[in-house]
Amino acid sequence: MSHITGSVQPVAPAIGIGPDFGPATNPPDTWALDFAHTPAPMGTRLVMLHFTGASFPANNRLEVDLGYGGELDVFTAADGTDFWTRPIRLNDLPGEQVPIRYITNGAATGGVQLVQYGRGERHTKDPENPGADFNSFTNCDPFLKFSPFIEPQYATHWFCNIPPHWENFECAPPLPDIRSVVAPSVGMILHVDFNTVLADYVMSTCTVTLVEPDVIVTAGHCMTDPIEDARSASVIFNYQTHCDGSNDPGYMPVVVKVKEVIRQRFADGTASDYCLIRLVSPVPGITPRPMRMDLPAIGEPVFCIHYPNGAVKKLSPLHPGFALVTASGTTAVQANMDITGGSSGSALFDSVGRVVGVLAGSSPCNLGYFPTATMLQDIAAPTPITRDVMIVFDRSGSMSLPGTSGMAKIAEARAAASLFVQLLRAGTGNRVGLVSFSSAASMPVDFTLANVTAANKTALIGPMPFTTGVVGNLMPGGSTSMGSGLNAAFMQLTPMGNPRNVLLLTDGLQNTPPMVDPNSKSPTDITIDVIGYGTPASLDGPMLTAVAMNHNGQYVMADTNLKLQKFFALAFGNIFEAGLLMDPEFVLPAGVPTAPPLPFDVCEEETLTVVVGWDHPDTHLLVEVTTPSGAPVTAALPGVESAMSRTWTFLRVPLPQAGERDGRWHVHVSRPQAGITAAAGTTSGAEVRYFVNVIADGGAVLRRMPDRRRYHTGDAINPLVALQYLKGGAPPNAKVRVIVRRPDTAVGTLLSRETLGGVAVIDADTIPPRQATLLAIEKKTGKPVVGYTELTFDLESDVESTGSFEPGDLFGKPMNDLLTVEGNYTFHAHATYGDGCIATREVMWSVHVDPGIDPGKTDMTVTGSGGQGVIVIVPRDIYGNNLGPGRGGDITITGAPGTTVTEPPADNGDGSYSVHVTWNSASGAGPGVIIAQPGRPPVVVGAASGPAPGPSVTHGGHIWKWLCCVLAVLLAIVLVLWLCRYV
């Protein structure tokens, strides 16, 4: 829904028409009704009639006069039992009554019921958006019942100019101007939609473009429930006036009913936002526009034709000018124009009239159009059914260190990887492979990409307890060449196979070529999910975050072996299933045999996979599930799958189970009891930490929306997620909240107080000084250098919270003051939805945040004279946190205007950096430097103008305040001495 242009009114009681509801009128084969609607307070622009319970035996039919030139809507058995008419023009219908006729032809039974009608009318602002810039008063009047046309009061939220730089289309230059050539292909789609705030149905519009004789393109968010939206939808072409708002006496638009949605993509965890729709017939007299197959260049001229707030056709920008492409990529083409609600889905045209993209969203003065180049590739690709996954496994020397269970990290990682493999369903067409890496990737790869079969799973992880096979034989040693591992995986994932995924596990930092370029988006069609096992002391959070973000994947940091196993199970759910119902962690105290039952709700799911993992291999747990009636579900039941290892177990339960599906189920976790043999060498009574993952297949999917931004302290962040059925449509009564786990320590400030040590070498794996120092601190203190706190926020679906034109499927909350400390932020989104039957979904991801250097908080000292010297800077962010030592490779320092850097900057190991410079002292300009960080505008630090400094001058936020105080005191002394002359 783009905006509200009318209401849906009930017909109560429903009106039956046909032999099943009484005698015929005249003639004897006809049952006629002149339907009179209840007029809107400010006049009805149009109506659309909704019939249900239709029965058309033999050749019986229903006719509805549409009010344009004798044209009828005729319905037969081919139209099913539930349908809407096209919009009806009331202008010339006597008494605004709509003639309806049920006509028999070969059968004396049958009939239909009129239950609702859509009433086009002026409507105030969308209730989802409380801000004043959303104030609006629409006027969707496609039959120009009121002439001259009454312009709406437009919502200004997306305006870049007030008044907007658009005009009635007929103000534009006539043919052969390209704008007039393409204009006839632009139409307005009108349909009935569900408004989540009003909890009722309304009428809504978007803009469309004809791209084939019977096919239109618009935004995916305009048809969030494709099947239901298409049922009521019609497209109106030639809805326009003269330049002054008047129209000719014979004005009549072309109205064509929608047949079906061909393909809709929106809120599916990708940046896609488009919809292709087939009409019931070709549009007469209108030439389709071609969709451009390549991306436009930055600076290309473009324009847009649209129907803002349901108004008559507008051209943006004002002629004779064009807008210019400001950015061009596979997920968005950006341009600066004025639009508002109803402009959604409008085409961005290039200078020869090709469709470059459809309006999807973004912010004022920076509109985003989803590119047709990407759309065409997506359409050509087969519908994803199965997937190819390469596991990329880090076996570098640092993996020999002890993990949180006491075992070596590589043993913990092998156990987690074996859980992922065993969860894969055999015989489904999915394929899996494995490549490990240290100083180089294993060549040939450890396990070539192959179909998931029972035999191949055994080859990878061995028989129960799944600790042998290829995975079980991986051993640590050597340095870390992450790039070699990824390159080897890419070679296995051929473009002609299934949709492609990489699951990367690493515990450290790359230190051996080939290196991963965190800014690279190639290959563009492989999704990369990343699990970092360790703490901020050992992981390159910025690089791992960027790799996942640039490849539409998720990054999560696992700082315990329990989380490592949990995240491998989570990766399985995200890649192959509908996602996660829940994933709590618990402690089963020593000597306690059974944990309290854990409830969870099932609604619409087709399969449940319940995973239980625990932290130590010297204990053992069992899992059982009970249905809503209390019936136990164990591995002994037919169709139920199970597996068990030394630190995990799972049950896979097909639904319905013994006739039960929806309702409250329970997970029961217990220790082995007397008579049940535990795994060899385990103890049954020790305290154990464990998690429970419930993974669902079927129902709705909760996905994080793509976000390729690199974040710094002080930045705003919006944790956007999408909740949608895979076949399209938003679940009812959806609510989403997010729990943010944020760091409580600025690592840069901590290291500035320490002495930065040298590199460390662990089994030939080189650890840089910064991480080596942090690891040494953790070893000395016996705890991680960074602690975490949690905050909970409700996410909303309104436009201001999501930045989308459409509320409903997307949920977000702009957060301006969350990123106050560098480090790893983990977002855990929880969704509930349903009407009566309540379902849940969860999704989790991590984002690394770097310090954002602030010139006002950064100290700078200049030593030298005569135009040359040394600048010492202490970079800090807006909150006063130090960038810290060991970050020289993450910043670029150049001279400000008039200053030249003569030697590479030196890291002093205490959070400060020295830069040898020269400057033109005769010009009166002082020295300064420009500090640049990836993904952030550069900042200038220092006296870039003003008098040249003396032998030693200090600049910076705190120093300048001290100097101002000293200057104030000196001025006061001078003033007192001057006054004393007159005493």
- Give 659-693 pLDDT, tens digit per residue: 899 999 999 999 987 544 444 444 457 899 999 99
- Asked whether the predicted pLDDT for residue 953 surpasses 80, the reply is no
Contacts of 401 (CB under 8 A, 6+ apart): 408, 409, 762
Q: Of 600, 681, 609, which is closest to residue 647 (Cα–Cα)?
A: 681
Determine which of 340-344, 394-398, 958-962 has the lowest per-residue pLDDT on average.
958-962
pTM: 0.79
How long a stretch of residues is the chain? 983
Segment 760-777 mean pLDDT: 88
d(CA 457, CA 9): 58
- Asked whether the predicted pLDDT for residue 72 surpasses 60, the reply is yes
73-122 confidence digits (pLDDT tens): 999 999 999 999 999 999 999 999 999 999 999 999 999 999 999 999 98
d(CA 875, CA 882): 6
* Most distant CA pair in the chain, distance: 122
Total Cβ atoms within 10 A of residue 669? 23
Element (H, E) at 489: helix 482-492
Q: Got the DSSP string for 501-567? A: EEEEEESS---SSSPP-TT---STTEEEEEEEES-TTT--HHHHHHHHHTTT--EEEE-SHHHHHHH
Handedness of CA 355, 359, 360, 366 (dihedral sign): positive
Helix/strand number for the chain, H first, E second: 13, 57
Q: Of 212, 291, 283, which is closest to residue 254 (Cα–Cα)?
A: 283
φ and ψ at residue 12, rounded to 5 degrees: -125, 120
Please provide the average confidence, as pLDDT, over all residues in the chain: 89
φ and ψ at residue 853, rounded to 5 degrees: -65, 130
- Strands 61-65 and 735-743, bridge-based pairing: unpaired
- Asked whether the predicted pLDDT for residue 942 surpasses 80, the reply is yes
More confident residue, 69 or 213: 213
pLDDT at position 382? 53
Distances (CA, A) of 106 to 19, 31, 58, 113, 126: 12, 15, 5, 20, 48
Asked if residues 729 and 805 have their Cβ atoms less than 8 Å apart, the reply is: no
Handedness of CA 872, 874, 878, 880 (dihedral sign): negative
Angle CA(140)–CA(255)–CA(316) in degrees, nearest 5?
50
pLDDT at position 902? 95
458-511 confidence digits (pLDDT tens): 999 999 999 999 999 999 999 999 999 999 999 999 887 688 999 999 998 899
Q: Which residue(s) pair with 831 in the sheet?
A: 736, 841
Top-ranked range on mean pLDDT: pick from 229-238, 706-715, 773-782, 940-949: 229-238
Q: Of 292, 329, 323, which is closest to residue 306 (Cα–Cα)?
A: 323
Segment 766-777 mean pLDDT: 88
pLDDT band at 547 (very low <50, low <70, confident <90, very high): very high
Segment 157-178 mean pLDDT: 92
pLDDT at position 764? 84
d(CA 285, CA 182): 13
Q: Of 92, 107, 114, 106, which is closest to residue 33 (Cα–Cα)?
A: 114
Query: Rounded to a whole number, what is the distance in angstroms from the first to the last CA of the chain?
Result: 81
Contacts of 929 (CB under 8 A, 6+ apart): 860, 871, 873, 893, 894, 895, 896, 899, 901, 915, 917, 940, 941, 942
d(CA 711, CA 818): 11
